[in-house]
């Protein structure tokens, strides 16, 4: 006889969809899964919608995979349903055979230095969803009326933010950048953007494909001191054979450093071995003080020397932590778990499980491994009453509602050559979904 298990997935980002896909792949004639995906926003896709940089449309094509998963028999989307507001973890645990938490890491880590709270100092956890039209950040006041911006961190998020500030905004006209952000970026006075990493290029968390894009920027000159790359290369060689990813990174950085500068008014400059010490200003960000470091053996140490960059905006892109949800244990910014197992019939996947690392595809293998454990833990289906009865009074945006939002966004973008024109108002989204 066929056993049908019901699984709740909380969070409609890449980790959530790949969990659903892994479950779908493990279905047999004897074992089927009813999958209910709960999402706080009326729109799914998580970071693919509100994290991936608008000038990286190719990365967003994974949404086609998500839609295929979502339209497979046995899958339901419960959009606009928030854990803790509309339904509790306890209720999900009771109703479902297993609950998978896929809520990511949405809080930006703080530097903890003086001046970090001055107006003009932001976290990438605010700026990225702001330019991507996340409803929670649509009203964020972002003042780009400054010649110089500084981004802290040497990872791909710092690179995304730096590039978004440094690009000629006309290059974003045919992207899905939020309308209000595009207006603001067109009016931006930023001409110089700095990306500052605390360690050397050999320890940067950028990845080579992202670095290789930089010399292709037509209206922005990218500066990276070639001597700094040679020194990093020499240090890495001293340790033995350089592993493949690092070699690609250093080569890509060398290409950036040596690329011809076109005399563009817009520049993006990389500074390494620079630790932010203090942000200063009279009522708003006016400058940042950075400590100069040096490499000694395997460690980076302060030289005691500092330098200052006069700037009107600082964005910290130094990693993320998971937002705490009631009923879940947390440690070091993620849900405390054992290979994805949290407690009886509760599992965790993605950034909420392993911390904010890896690209979108990393979540696929990660989710598959957790789903294998989950399936091995299953005994007999609970056959609980349908949760939809309990949520009758809520304004659920289901897959058909989301399809309407999606279609409207895509059609509104078409006339201006954009992949979509994002809606940012939740009530407008719900109205579109339910009409
Ligand atoms: P990340 O890759 O972990 O980089 C974080 C950076 O912040 C590191 O350079 C780190 O330096 C620095 N940092 C941490 N604490 C600091 C402090 N107190 N002061 C100064 N610097 C500090 O994180 P991310 O950039 O947020 O990216 C998260 C994940 O998403 C990564 O796996 C990334 O590749 C991925 N992602 C991918 C793409 C893409 O594929 N296009 C785009 C965006 C994000 P240390 O190494 O010295 O700690």
Query: Could you please report the per-residue DSSP string of 372-399?
Result: HHHHHH--S---PPPHHHHTTTS--B-H
Best of 205, 209, 212, 271 for a ligand 1 pocket test (most atoms within 8 Å of beta carbon): 205
Q: Which residues of the chain have pLDDT under 70?
A: none
Q: How many Cβ atoms sit within 10 Å of the Cβ of residue 397? A: 27
Measure 364 CA to ligand 1 centroid, in angstroms.
20
Q: What is the pLDDT of residue 66?
A: 98
Measure 162 CA to ligand 1 centroid, in angstroms.
13
Pairing state of beta strands 148-152 and 192-196?
A: parallel
Measure 432 CA to ligand 1 centroid, in angstroms.
37
Q: Specify the DSSP class assigned to residue 198.
A: S
Best of 62, 113, 155 for a ligand 1 pocket test (most atoms within 8 Å of beta carbon): 155
334 alpha-carbon distance from chain centroid: 15
Give the closest residue (by CA) to ligand 1 atom 38: 156
Give the closest residue (by CA) to ligand 1 atom 33: 156
Contacts of 160 (CB under 8 A, 6+ apart): 53, 56, 124, 128
304: which strand partners?
A: none
Provide, for the chain, the percentages of residues in helix, strand and coil under a 3-state DSSP scheme, each rounded to the nearest 5. Answer: 35, 25, 40
Pairing state of beta strands 192-196 and 266-271?
A: parallel
Contacts of 412 (CB under 8 A, 6+ apart): 420, 421
Residues contacting ligand 1 via CB (< 6 Å):
111, 152-158, 160, 197-199, 203, 205, 207, 210, 317-319, 356-359
Give the closest residue (by CA) to ligand 1 atom 14: 318
Measure 320 CA to ligand 1 centroid, in angstroms.
9
Give the closest residue (by CA) to ligand 1 atom 13: 318
Closest ligand 1 atom number to CA of residue 205: 2
Measure 197 CA to ligand 1 centroid, in angstroms.
10
C-alpha–C-alpha distance, residues 184 and 177, integer Å? 11
Pairing state of beta strands 148-152 and 313-316?
A: parallel
Q: What is the pLDDT of residue 345?
A: 97
Closest CA to 318 of 112, 16, 172: 112
Q: What is the pLDDT of residue 240?
A: 87
Measure 69 CA to ligand 1 centroid, in angstroms.
30
378 alpha-carbon distance from chain centroid: 32
Measure 126 CA to ligand 1 centroid, in angstroms.
15
Which helix (H) or strand (E) segment holds residue 193: the answer is strand 192-196
Give the closest residue (by CA) to ligand 1 atom 31: 357
Query: For residue 169, what are the CA distances in angstroms to 19, 48, 177, 425?
Result: 37, 21, 10, 24
Q: What is the pLDDT of residue 244?
A: 94
C-alpha–C-alpha distance, residues 174 and 168, integer Å? 12
Measure 169 CA to ligand 1 centroid, in angstroms.
25
Per DSSP, the residues of 17-72 read HHHHHHHHHT--SSEEEEEEEEESSSS--THHHHTS-TT-GGGGGGHHHHHHHHTS
């Amino acid at each position: 006889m066929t056993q049908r298990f019901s699984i709740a997935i909380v969070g409609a980002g890449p980790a959530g969809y790949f969990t659903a896909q892994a479950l779908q792949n493990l279905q047999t004639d004897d074992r089927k899964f009813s999958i209910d995906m709960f999402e706080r926003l009326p729109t799914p896709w998580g970071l693919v919608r509100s994290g991936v940089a608008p000038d990286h449309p190719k990365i967003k094509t994974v949404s086609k995979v998500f839609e295929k998963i979502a339209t497979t028999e046995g899958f339901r989307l419960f959009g606009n349903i928030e854990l803790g507001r509309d339904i509790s973890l306890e209720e999900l645990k009771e109703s479902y055979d297993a609950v998978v938490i896929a809520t990511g890491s949405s809080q930006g880590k703080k530097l903890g230095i003086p001046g970090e709270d001055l107006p003009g100092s932001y976290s990438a956890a605010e700026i990225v969803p702001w330019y991507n039209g996340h409803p929670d950040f649509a009203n964020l006041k972002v003042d780009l009326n400054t010649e110089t911006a500084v981004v802290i961190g040497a990872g791909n998020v710092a690179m995304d933010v730096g590039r978004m500030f440094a690009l000629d905004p006309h290059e974003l006209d045919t992207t899905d950048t939020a309308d209000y952000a595009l207006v603001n970026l067109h009016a931006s006075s930023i001409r110089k953007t700095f990306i500052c990493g605390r360690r050397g290029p050999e320890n940067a968390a950028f990845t080579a494909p992202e670095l290789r894009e930089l010399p292709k920027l037509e209206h922005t000159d990218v500066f990276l001191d070639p001597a700094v790359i040679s020194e990093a290369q020499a240090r890495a060689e001293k340790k033995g054979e350089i592993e493949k990813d690092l070699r690609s990174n250093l080569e890509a950085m060398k290409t950036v450093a040596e690329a011809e500068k076109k005399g563009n008014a817009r520049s993006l400059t990389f500074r390494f071995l620079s630790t932010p010490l203090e942000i200063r200003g009279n009522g708003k960000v006016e400058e940042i003080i950075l400590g100069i470091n040096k490499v000694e053996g395997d460690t980076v140490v302060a030289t005691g020397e500092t330098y200052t960059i006069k700037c009107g905006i600082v964005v910290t892109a130094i990693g993320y932590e998971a937002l705490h949800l009631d009923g879940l244990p947390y440690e070091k910014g993620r849900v405390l778990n054992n290979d994805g197992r949290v407690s009886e019939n509760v599992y965790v996947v993605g950034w909420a499980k392993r911390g904010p690392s890896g690209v979108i595809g990393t979540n696929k293998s990660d989710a598959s491994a957790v789903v294998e454990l989950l399936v091995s833990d299953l005994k007999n289906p609970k056959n609980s009453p349908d949760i939809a009865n309990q949520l009758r009074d809520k304004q659920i945006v289901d897959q058909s509602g989301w399809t309407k939002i999606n279609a409207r966004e895509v059609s509104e973008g078409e006339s201006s050559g954009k992949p979509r024109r994002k809606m940012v108002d939740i009530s407008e989204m719900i109205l579109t979904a339910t009409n």
